[in-house]
Structure 1
Amino acid sequence: MHLACDALDDARFDADLLGSEAPGPRGTRQAGQLERAQRGVLFLDRVDALTPAMQARLSAIFEAGEFRPAGAGAPRPMDVQLLASTSADPARLAEGPFDARLFYRLSGTVLPVPSLAERREDIPALYRHFLLAACARLDRPAPAMTGPVKARLSGHGWPGNLPELRGFAESQAIGVTPFDAQADGAAPGLSELVASYESELIRDALRLAGGNATAAMARLQLPRKTFYDKLARHGIKPTDFRR
């Protein structure tokens, strides 16, 4: 289960995490995230956005190993694994006001995730995933991958990482193209679009060839010198695509 910590406030924390159960013959109730995550994993997205009070509350719940929904007569045992993400340096969380007990519970294994700018070869597949998910949710057909969209995917810096890419994919799902004159200052010119599209085609060929430069050259029907000149121009390394 997924809990967006940056969308919570102290008033909503217990309701979202613990749920509620009203007494009565029909027992109207709302399951919280801990109940939904039983025998599974609760993912705390942006855990550093929790207030100190919420951090302490979460730590106390997990130390007790049980939780009590609002209106419930007795606490319930808990069997939930915790995963968390943070945009902050995990080492600095321990030095700041972050709850120490919660930090040590979460920091047993730390996996750094490179930014999208550092793993550009993943961007088209991630975009496609977000696009198809948005189209399924909206019951709309998936739009074709146009040249400007490919240029945006390969040429943009994506400082907002996955949330920004997801938002872009969702805008394409509803037919909006907000990228032509916004965050990057101005719409890209023809030469920039062509260069970005060429770069993405070369990356696609290397990805399909598993980083084999000779196979990628054959797929693109390019002479060796031309191919390596383009690699240098676009800053592409075949070794980054080897499986």
Structure 2
Amino acid sequence: MLNSVIVVDDEASIRAAVEQWLSLSGFNVQLFERAEECLAQLPAHFPGVILSDVRMPGMSGLQLLDRLQQADPDLPVILLTGHGDVPMAVEAMRNGAYDFLEKPFTPQHLMGSLRRALEKRQLVLENRRLHEQADLKAQLENTLLGMSQGLQQLRRQVLELASLPVNVLIRGETGSGKERVARCLHDFGPRADKPFVALNCAAIPETLFEAELFGHESGAFTGAQGKRIGKLEYANGGTVFLDEIESMPLAQQAKLLRVIQEQKLERLGANQSIAVDLRIIAATKPDLLEEARAGRFREDLAYRLNVAELRLAPLRERREDIPLLFDHFARTAAERLGRHAPAVTGGRLAQLLAHEWPGNVRELANAAERHALGLDSPNLESLPGGQSLGEQMEAFEAQCLRAALRQHKGEIKGVMEALQLPRRTLNEKMQRHGLVREDFLDNE
């Protein structure tokens, strides 16, 4: 339960007595002599209660109440009043104060009022947290598109890991969306207002790698004109995304390991260490531990990077997401080009579901853009896909069920009528494809 209380009173004896009572009862107490000091140091979303005298030099308790109401109308404020201030305190309660206590008051009276106020504050903050989680979930669903079980699990993992101060390793094939997932880990976490710096380790020449990551001082090497801030230092407070981390030269791996361990770096040609606060998100296609066993990657760095691991399934393993992704990419491309995307025929959908998509989401986005231009790829149509007819029919059936559930917002009767299926058959098919009606309900 929340137990934080801020006491604002210009009388030292009152502050001392209240602090003693509350501390003995297990409350976390912070004292201020003036209201201005309280406002200056009050954290956002303060998880507790303000206990304030009414009459104080400078800003009064009523003025403090007004300022607090503007910042957070749900923050409980209990006023301490003299006998003549009771009518004023009653009016203050009409204007948002939680309660008032007339001096002198007993510890029991104070504790009762505080505990009720803290219970209210706890409910308010929990309600806010749930709303924020729902908002974040909706935003993430619009960023990482897909209704397959794998995508739903990935979104849950991203939301959970985004708020945790741990390094993350993302495994996935080329074009599977590793950078987008890394960006979500940054954007949905506490570092969102700090830099997000992405580097492709395979694209940096080995001779420039150290200067690119760590920066350099003037004259550190031939051609080093002036001081240069490296990518790691520039990202201080934020996130560094290292794509194709397996391509990083071994010498730079040792230096990156030191940065992770010590949270310090040195520019090339410098003797002074610079403190940095970084979250590292790395991406790789091969298994880093296998690379380490082959002598191509440092094992200690692999463990440091892989505190948590996310695996992105290739598109061929989540074919039920293909129609949704294709439609999204086609509409986005069409809007950008100022035209309407052609409708996707049943035959075309079957081709999309049958294709193996070696380039994953990136290849699908390219195909969707060509579709928006009316330039569907003949190569895609002629590919056999590698799936049996039964597998293709299963994928198509799952997509039809999902589309109907989404259209009718999880309302089973509407889905039965749209697909002309009896209830038992629909239930069996939903169970076989791992579909749950609650995932499609209109939460609004």
With the length of structure 1 as denominator, give the TM-score of the two structures: 0.65
Q: Which one of the candidate residues 393, 399, 402 is aligned to 1:203?
A: 402
Structure 1 match to 2:263: 65
In structure 2, the CA distance between the partners of 1:186 and 1:212, relative to structure 1 (3 Å rule), is: same
Name 1:53's counterpart in structure 2.
251
User: Displacement of 1:21 after TM fit?
Assistant: 7.2
Q: Does 1:161 align with 2:395?
A: no
Is the contact between residue 43 and residue 82 of structure 1 (CA under 8 Å) also seen in structure 2?
Answer: yes
Structure number with higher relative contact order (C-alpha < 8 Å, ≥ 6 residues apart): 1
Within-5 A mapping of 1:167-186: 167-169=366-368, 171-172=370-371, 176-178=375-377, 180-182=378-380, 185=383
Q: CA deviation at 1:89?
A: 3.2
| Cα distance, 1:84 vs structure 2 | 1.7
Kindly state the Cα deviation for residue 43 of structure 1 after the two structures are TM-superposed: 1.8
Flag the 1:129–1:94 CA change in 2: closer, same or farther, 3 A.
farther
Partner residue of 1:3? 199
Match of 1:34 in 2: 232
Judging changes above 3 Å, is the alpha-carbon distance between structure 1 residues 9 and 28 closer, same or farther for their aligned structure 2 residues?
closer
Which of 296, 300, 304 in structure 2 is aligned with 1:105? 304
For the 8 Å contact 2:323–2:399, the answer to whether it is kept is: no
Partner of 1:141: 338
Pairs aligned (count) = 229
Residue identity opposite 1:114 in structure 2: A
Q: Contact between 2:353 and 2:396, CA under 8 Å: does it hold in 1?
A: yes
Tell me the equivalent position of 1:89.
287
Q: 2: distance between equivalents of 1:151 and 1:125?
A: 14
Q: Which amino acid aligns with 2:210?
A: D
Q: Distance in 2 between matches of 1:86 and 1:70?
A: 27
Structure 1 residues 85-126: Cα deviation after superposition (integer angstroms, max 9, x where no partner): 222235534533211221111121123332222333433444
CA-based RMSD of the aligned residues comes to 4.5
3-state DSSP of counterpart to 1:110 = strand
Larger radius of gyration: 2
Aligned equivalents of 2:331 and 2:237: distance in 1?
29
TM-score, length-scaled by structure 2: 0.40
User: Residue type matched to 2:283 in 1?
Assistant: S
Q: Which runs of 5+ in 2 are unaligned?
A: 1-196, 220-224, 440-444
Partner of 2:321: 122
2:203 partner amino acid? A
Tell me the secondary structure at the aligned position of residue 217 of structure 1: helix
How far residue 41 of structure 1 moved from its aligned partner, in angstroms, is: 1.5
Q: Alpha-carbon deviations, 1:57-95, whole Å to 9, x = none?
A: 422333342334568795532111011222223553453
Q: Which residue of 1 aligns with 2:209?
A: 13
Q: Does the CA-based 8 Å contact 2:331-2:340 persist in structure 1?
A: no
**Matched residues in 1 for 2:227 and 2:337: separation?**
34
Residues 49 and 73 (structure 1), Cα distance of their counterparts in 2 relative to 1, 3 Å cut: closer
1:92 is paired with a residue whose SS is: helix
SS in 1 for 2:311: coil
Query: For the residues of structure 2 that align with 1:63 and 1:166, how far apart are their CA atoms?
Result: 39
SS of the aligned residue for 2:293 comes to coil
